Structure formats: structure tokens, C-alpha cells
């Protein structure tokens, strides 16, 4: 695949009830980049990601994915998201296997039975995170770190060109963090464009090729955009000492599959 | 069997089996989306349709179907437009549904208001011979739509935003689910009654998910429990001479209790094995 702009954000602005959450964001992400999107709570990291994925309407500005304006973008199979959790997996039992397969469900496949190739890809992805043996278990009986790995497998099973991860390292113990880092290194080496939304670079700092720091108190939300490490002037944004930051979640227990 | 020698009982049994089969299939999505009360509201809205049918002299099933389907679109519209006050808006709609139904039925000539009871709590004798065909047709439509769109509905119920990023039309799926719930309400209104029909969507699912480990198994067990409760509840109601709606729902609740007891040692064994 030829290198090209995977994500283009042009003067993007988002307001919530008159509050300027994102101001004039310009961002161009090329194929193969590994981006860390940093900033304190309320800096608009999640909003920017939601805007890039078409989940957050813009007040002004434009977003394009793989060179196609968002409104006309249809190649959603090239994009995968790793959320922090699956809300619907707590109200009804959902097996690990079903959770992984759910990543491959698309409108295109609605007239056909679920393709065997998707099942094979899902199996491979689940094996790659070391949880194939747990496929019949209820997702919510797994530890937090294991559930995160299942959600990563869910995203990997579609072989995305762009992978977006929401706080993938939060609350992970050392073993799970190492497993995640190794997995991300492989993906990056294979040419996948990766955007990680995070509070901190711990654990993934060697992989990140570019850090983007957001803060919402000026005319431009992007405060730093360049190679890591983030210069000390912006370090406050990355490791905030404000009281409004919630306590970090307790580390997830070590639980090898 | 003597029960089956009555034509009206044969028809009622078919109707009960259809609702026992269909309702949990829709309910499993509703529970997963934490919209367990949506079916309840749909029943209330359908009541206005029944009242209208009495008043205008039209056939109750198509009129209720049209009203409930309209209600489904309205509910989805309200849910989409007002995130915060959505549940209050829905409550208003549901109250309106019941009040409208009772009012229209009272205005209707003849003894319409007394036969409204049969629609509220179900009746053994109201399934007309033409109804069976209509119910079967509705049932086939629901199953066909689930076969086509069920996977997308599952993905949407897991996480609507993730589903949207997979290209799934979340609003369309959500509206379709509400319309399917409306269809089930109408299928169930004759034998279970509009006030209790949503219980057959929710109770078997709540019972099944205590012992299952996957969505598919939950849906399958819920359908089995729904069928058992609705058919045996109907027979009980014939023998004891009470309205079928309450007996069906109480049998479903009894199944829930039985599975709750079974689930305790099962869960203990599972947590020990991990």
C-alpha cells in the first residue's frame, strides 16, 4: 500500500453548550505513524477521536479518512477501535468468542452467512492475545486486563489499516502491558497506523513516533505536535497535577491465560 | 386431548406459541440495550390502537399494529432527540397510550369498554380464525428480519458507537428493533394482553441469562422458556378458568425463580474452576 494521509483534520472546532472543547485543530496523520494523543482530562482528546470517527459533529472544519471526506467515507472496514469496555456485555452474557466476532459484523455481510474467513481471522486474533482457550467464557468473568486483550483481538480480527485505542494501558499490570506493547510493535512494523489516546506514555514511549498534546485553554487546541519525548514546557499537560484528575484505576491483577 | 377439541383453543395455542417464540428473541436485544421497559410502553401505545379500532369499527390487529409501529418511530425519535429528558418524554407517551385506549373504547358504541379487558390481560376466546393467518404472517416477517439484521442489532446492542464505526446504521437498527417489538406486542395482545405482553419479552431472558455464558445460548434458552411458559400458562388458564395473561407471566416468573436457584451452585462451581 502506498503511503498517504490516513487522517486529515482541518481547522476542526467542537462546542458543547457554548464551551469550546476543540479549537482549530489541524492534524495530518500519515500511513504507518504511531500517534500518542495526550492531554489532561477535558482537553478534548476523546472528542477529537470521536470527531475523526464521525461520531462527533463539528462546528467548523473538516475531517477526511484515507483521503475521503467523512461524509462520503464508506470503507469502515479499514478502521478499528479498541474501546475501554463493551457496555452491552454486562447486561446479557456475551462470550469472549462472540465479542471478538462482533468486530467483523458489517452491513455488507447481512445477506450472507457469517464468512468463514472472518471466523478464522477472529481465531487468529484471539490466539495472538493468548485468550483462545477462554473463548467460551463470559466476557465479564475475565480480569480487566484480559477483557482489554479481547477487545484488542476484536479490533485486530478485521486487519484494520487504522487502529484507534482509548487508554489501552490504563490499569494494566506489567505482564499485560508488556504483552500489549509487543502486539503494538508487531502491528506498527506491519504498517498499521495507530492512534493511542492516553494520559501517559509509560510503556509505549519507545513505539510512539509522534506525540500530539491537546489543551483547551487557547485559540488552538493542539499545544505540541512532534516527536516524543514531549518537551518539559508541556509536561504539565501530560502529567497534570490538577485535582480534577480522577484517581488512576487500581492495577489489574496478573492472570495469565 | 379435550382441550384441543375446541377450535378457539387451537387458535389460542398457536397464538401463545408464536408469542412465546418471538417475544424472547426481541427481548434479548432490549435487555442488552437496557431498554427492558420499551416493550411495556409499546403495549400501552398499542392500546390506543385497540380503542381506535372499537371506535371506528376497524379490525383490531391491523389498527393496533399501525398505532404501535407509529409509536415505535415516535419513541426512537424522542430517544434520539432528547438524551437527558428522554425517559420522561417516553413516560408521557406511554400514559397517553393507555389513556387514549380507554377513552376511545368508552366512546365506542356497544360493550367495547368491557371487552377492552380481554385486550389488557389476554383472553382464550378472542383469537379469531382469520387472526391466525395474520399472526403467522407477522411472525414470519419478524424471523426474516432478525435473520437479516440480527447480527447488526447484536453489534449495536454491544456498543452503538463501535457499531457505527463498523458502518452499521445504528438509528435504522434501533428503529427496526422498536418496530419488531411493536409487532411482538400485537402478536401477543390477544392471548397475553397488552399490559403483560412485554413480560414475555423480558422474563424468559432474565431467567435464561442467569445460567448461560453467551448471547446465543441466552436467546435459545429464553425462547425455550418463553414457549414453555406461554403454552403451559394457556392450558392452566383453560383449566382454572382465569385470564391467560397472568397465568403465563406467573409461570415465566416461576421459571425465573427455578433458574435462580439452579444458578447459585453453578456459579460457585464455575468460580472455583477458574
Tell whether A225 is covered by a domain: no
Instruction: Mark yes or no for CB contact A76/B165 under 8 Å.
Output: yes
Residue showing cell 492516553? A198
Instruction: Mark yes or no for CB contact A93/B205 under 8 Å.
Output: no
Residue showing cell 479518512? A65
**For residue B263, with 0-12 CB atoms within 10 Å meaning exposed, 13-18 middle and 19 or more buried, which class applies?**
middle
The pLDDT of residue A242: 44
The pLDDT of residue B89: 74
Instruction: Mark yes or no for CB contact A98/B215 under 8 Å.
Output: yes
Query: pLDDT at residue B220 above 50?
Result: yes
For an interface test with A, give the residue of B83, B157, B162, B263 to mutate (most A CBs within 10 A): B162
Please choose, from the candidates A82, A41, A80, A37, the residue with its C-alpha nearest in 3D space to the C-alpha of residue A172: A82
Residue pLDDT, tens place only, B38-72: 888 899 999 999 999 999 988 888 999 999 999 99
For an interface test with B, give the residue of A17, A92, A100, A159 to mutate (most B CBs within 10 A): A92
Tell whether A241 is covered by a domain: no
Query: Is residue B241 less than 8 Å (CB to CB) from chain A?
Result: no
pLDDT band at B90 (very low <50, low <70, confident <90, very high): confident
Query: Is residue A83 less than 8 Å (CB to CB) from chain B?
Result: yes
Tell whether B54 is covered by a domain: yes
Query: pLDDT at residue B273 above 60?
Result: no
CATH number at residue A81: 3.40.50.300
Query: pLDDT at residue A76 above 50?
Result: yes
Task: Point out the residue among B151, B163, B216 whose CB comes nearest to the CB of A110.
Answer: B151
Helix axes A144-156, A174-189, angle to 10 degrees: 10
Query: pLDDT at residue A2 above 60?
Result: no
Please choose, from the candidates B155, B39, B207, the residue with its C-alpha nearest in 3D space to the C-alpha of residue A94: B155
The pLDDT of residue A217: 65
Query: pLDDT at residue A255 above 50?
Result: no
Q: Which long-range contacts link A125-132 to residues 24+ away (Cβ below 8 Å)? A: A125/A100, A125/A152, A125/A153, A125/A154, A125/A156, A125/A157, A126/A96, A126/A97, A126/A100, A126/A150, A126/A153, A126/A157, A128/A153, A128/A156, A128/A183, A129/A153, A129/A156, A129/A179, A129/A183, A130/A179, A130/A256, A130/A257, A131/A96, A131/A257
Query: pLDDT at residue A239 above 80?
Result: no
Query: pLDDT at residue B94 above 90?
Result: no
Tell whether A237 is covered by a domain: no
Interface of B with A in 55-114 (CB under 8 A): none
Euclidean distance between CA atoms A199 and B67, whole angstroms = 50
The pLDDT of residue A180: 86
Quick one: average pLDDT of A10-38? 87
Query: Is residue A108 less than 8 Å (CB to CB) from chain B?
Result: yes
Tell whether A52 is covered by a domain: yes
Tell whether B261 is covered by a domain: no
Query: pLDDT at residue A246 above 80?
Result: no
Tell whether A226 is covered by a domain: no
Euclidean distance between CA atoms A139 and A150, whole angstroms = 8
Least confident among A69-78, B105-114, B203-212: B105-114
> Of A15-19, A56-60, A76-80, B113-117, where does the model show the most confidence?
A76-80
Task: Point out the residue among B32, B169, B274 whose CB comes nearest to the CB of A88.
Answer: B32
Number of domains in chain B: 1
Euclidean distance between CA atoms A98 and A114, whole angstroms = 12
* Chain B CB contacts of A79 below 8 Å: 165
Contact A179, A151 (CB under 8 A): no
Query: Is residue B151 less than 8 Å (CB to CB) from chain A?
Result: yes
Number of domains in chain A: 1
pLDDT band at A241 (very low <50, low <70, confident <90, very high): very low
Task: Point out the residue among A92, A106, A108 whose CB comes nearest to the CB of B31.
Answer: A92
Query: pLDDT at residue A243 above 80?
Result: no
CATH number at residue B184: 1.10.3470.10
pLDDT band at A244 (very low <50, low <70, confident <90, very high): very low
The pLDDT of residue B271: 63
Interface of A with B in 120-139 (CB under 8 A): 136-138
Task: Point out the residue among B33, B154, B167 whose CB comes nearest to the CB of A74.
Answer: B167
Distance from CA of B118 to the nearest CA of A (A): 33
Structure letter (DSSP) for residue A254:
P
Distance from CA of A252 to the nearest CA of B (A): 16
Residue pLDDT, tens place only, A134-189: 999 999 999 888 899 999 999 999 999 999 999 888 777 888 888 888 889 999 99
The pLDDT of residue B101: 92
Query: pLDDT at residue A96 above 90?
Result: yes
* Chain A CB contacts of B259 below 8 Å: none
The pLDDT of residue A215: 82
Query: pLDDT at residue A240 above 70?
Result: no
Instruction: Mark yes or no for CB contact B149/A110 under 8 Å.
Output: yes
Task: Point out the residue among A87, A107, A137 whose CB comes nearest to the CB of B167.
Answer: A107
Task: Point out the residue among A55, A105, A137 whose CB comes nearest to the CB of B164.
Answer: A55
Tell whether B20 is covered by a domain: yes
Euclidean distance between CA atoms A191 and A22, whole angstroms = 29
Instruction: State CA B125 to chain mean position distance.
Output: 20
Please give the share of chain B, as a percent, with pLDDT higher than 90: 63
A154: left (phi over 0), alpha (psi -120 to 50) or beta: alpha
Residue of B122 and B154 predicted with greater confidence: B154
Query: pLDDT at residue A45 above 50?
Result: yes
Tell whether A246 is covered by a domain: no
| Structural domain boundaries enclosing B169 | 3-195
Query: pLDDT at residue A233 above 90?
Result: no
Q: What is the ipTM of this complex?
A: 0.89
Query: Is residue B270 less than 8 Å (CB to CB) from chain A?
Result: yes
Tell whether B268 is covered by a domain: no
| Structural domain boundaries enclosing A120 | 5-220
The pLDDT of residue B51: 93
Query: pLDDT at residue B231 above 60?
Result: yes
Contact A144, B207 (CB under 8 A): no
Residue pLDDT, tens place only, A7-22: 999 888 888 877 788 8
Euclidean distance between CA atoms A237 and A220, whole angstroms = 14
Quick one: average pLDDT of B15-38? 93
The pLDDT of residue A62: 92
Closest residue, chain B, to A96 (C-alpha)? B214
Task: Point out the residue among B149, B165, B214 whose CB comes nearest to the CB of A79.
Answer: B165
A35: helix, strand or coil = strand
Residue showing cell 492472570? A255
Average pLDDT, chain B: 90
Amino acid at each position: 500500500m502506498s503511503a498517504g494521509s490516513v487522517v486529515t483534520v482541518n481547522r476542526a472546532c467542537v462546542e458543547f453548550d457554548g464551551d469550546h472543547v476543540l479549537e482549530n485543530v489541524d492534524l495530518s496523520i500519515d500511513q504507518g505513524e504511531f500517534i500518542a494523543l495526550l492531554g489532561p482530562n477535558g482537553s478534548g482528546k476523546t472528542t477529537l477521536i470521536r470527531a475523526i470517527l464521525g461520531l462527533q459533529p463539528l462546528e467548523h472544519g473538516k475531517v477526511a479518512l484515507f483521503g475521503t471526506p467523512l461524509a462520503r467515507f464508506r470503507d469502515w472496514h479499514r478502521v478499528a477501535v479498541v474501546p475501554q469496555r463493551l457496555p452491552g456485555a454486562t447486561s446479557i452474557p456475551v462470550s469472549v468468542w462472540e465479542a471478538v466476532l462482533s468486530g467483523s459484523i458489517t452491513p455488507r455481510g447481512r445477506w450472507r452467512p457469517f464468512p468463514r474467513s472472518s471466523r478464522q481471522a477472529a481465531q487468529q486474533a484471539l490466539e495472538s492475545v493468548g485468550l483462545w482457550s477462554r473463548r467460551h467464557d463470559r466476557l465479564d468473568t475475565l480480569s480487566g486486563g484480559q477483557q482489554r486483550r479481547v477487545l484488542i483481538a476484536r479490533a485486530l480480527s478485521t486487519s484494520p489499516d487504522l487502529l484507534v485505542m482509548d487508554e489501552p494501558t490504563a490499569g494494566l499490570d506489567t505482564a499485560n502491558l508488556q504483552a500489549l506493547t509487543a502486539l503494538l510493535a508487531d502491528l506498527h512494523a506491519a504498517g498499521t497506523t495507530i492512534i493511542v489516546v492516553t494520559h501517559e506514555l509509560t510503556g509505549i514511549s519507545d513505539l510512539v513516533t509522534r506525540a500530539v498534546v491537546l489543551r483547551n485553554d487557547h485559540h488552538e487546541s493542539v499545544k505540541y505536535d512532534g516527536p516524543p519525548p514531549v518537551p518539559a514546557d508541556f509536561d504539565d499537560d501530560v502529567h497534570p497535577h490538577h485535582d480534577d484528575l480522577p484517581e488512576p484505576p487500581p492495577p489489574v491483577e496478573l492472570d495469565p491465560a | 386431548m379435550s382441550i384441543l377439541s375446541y377450535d378457539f383453543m387451537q387458535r389460542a395455542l398457536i397464538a401463545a406459541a408464536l408469542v412465546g417464540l418471538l417475544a424472547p428473541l426481541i427481548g434479548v436485544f432490549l435487555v442488552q440495550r437496557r431498554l427492558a421497559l420499551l416493550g411495556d410502553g409499546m403495549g400501552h401505545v398499542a392500546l390506543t390502537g385497540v380503542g381506535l379500532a372499537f371506535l371506528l369499527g376497524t379490525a383490531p390487529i391491523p389498527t393496533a399494529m399501525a398505532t404501535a409501529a407509529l409509536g415505535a418511530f415516535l419513541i426512537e425519535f424522542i430517544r434520539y432527540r432528547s438524551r437527558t429528558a428522554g425517559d420522561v418524554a417516553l413516560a408521557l407517551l406511554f400514559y397517553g397510550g393507555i389513556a387514549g385506549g380507554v377513552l376511545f373504547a368508552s366512546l365506542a358504541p356497544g360493550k367495547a369498554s368491557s371487552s377492552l379487558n380481554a385486550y389488557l390481560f389476554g383472553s382464550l376466546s378472542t383469537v379469531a380464525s382469520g387472526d391466525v393467518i395474520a399472526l403467522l404472517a407477522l411472525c414470519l416477517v419478524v424471523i426474516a428480519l432478525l435473520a437479516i439484521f440480527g447480527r447488526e442489532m447484536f453489534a449495536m446492542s454491544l456498543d452503538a458507537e463501535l457499531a457505527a464505526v463498523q458502518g452499521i446504521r445504528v438509528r435504522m437498527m434501533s428503529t427496526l428493533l422498536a418496530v419488531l417489538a411493536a409487532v411482538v406486542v400485537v402478536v401477543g395482545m390477544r392471548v397475553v394482553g397488552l399490559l403483560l405482553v412485554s413480560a414475555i419479552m423480558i422474563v424468559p431472558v432474565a431467567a435464561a441469562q442467569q445460567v448461560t455464558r453467551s448471547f446465543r445460548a441466552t436467546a435459545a434458552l429464553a425462547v425455550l422458556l418463553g414457549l414453555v411458559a406461554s403454552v403451559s400458562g394457556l392450558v392452566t388458564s383453560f383449566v382454572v378458568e382465569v385470564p391467560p395473561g397472568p397465568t403465563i407471566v406467573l409461570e415465566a416468573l416461576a421459571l425465573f425463580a427455578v433458574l435462580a436457584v439452579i444458578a447459585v451452585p453453578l456459579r460457585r462451581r464455575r468460580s472455583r474452576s477458574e
